[in-house]
Amino acid sequence: MKSVIIYSSRSGNTEKLARVIYEALDGEKEIYAITEVPPLDDHYDLVFAGFPVMAGRVEPRAARFLSEFDKKADFFLFATHGSFRDSELVRTVMARAADLIKSAAVTGVFTCQGEVSSKVLKKLGKSNRPPAWLDEGEKAGGHPDKEDLEELAAMVRTLFHVP
């Protein structure tokens, strides 16, 4: 199986997930930051695409990558966010990400909280309309944590039959 992991990470949270996926996979594999992705050929069986949720949306560079992807492959989406994992916001964003992909099937999804900088939290807290997830974001410190990373590695090994 030939896999490629592509991630967008502004603070390092999503990159941590990408590196865990890379280590959990067997077979031929490559990993790229979204700003360094070479032209992809048709020979990938599995594409992992990760991004931070930004302003309640798929991060713009990741959205562009997902919408322009035109190869046949299975996709695994992963994301970090300030809000709680089971929130409506996260479900909506991940559904939107899946909808952006035209030619591939989504075979797995993983999300977890990612630490939001205190500077960003303060700025958002002072705005006229702070986001609904602000209180949840204050509880995201230290994420992705060891438990998040172990859960992701186990999910990848199970889904893709890695011993």
Cα 39 from chain centroid (whole Å):
20
Residue 161, in any domain of the structure? no
160 token code pair: 């893709």
Q: What is the pLDDT of residues 40-93, one digit of tens each?
A: 877 898 999 999 999 899 999 999 999 999 888 899 999 999 999 989 999 999
CB atoms within 10 A of CB 86: 8
Instruction: Calculate what percentage of the chain has a pLDDT beyond 90.
Output: 72
What CATH number did the domain enclosing 24 receive? 3.40.50.360
Angstrom distance (rounded) from CA 71 to CA 60: 20
Domain of 11, in residue numbers: 2-153
Q: What is the pLDDT of residues 9-25, one digit of tens each?
A: 999 999 999 999 999 99
* Prediction pTM value: 0.94
Residue 20, in any domain of the structure? yes
Residue 159, in any domain of the structure? no
Q: How many domains does the chain divide into?
A: 1
Residue 116, in any domain of the structure? yes
Q: What is the dihedral of CA 93, 159, 151, 31, to 10 degrees?
A: -70
Note whether 72 and 41 are within 8 A (CB). no
Predicted confidence band at 7 (pLDDT cuts at 50, 70, 90)?
very high
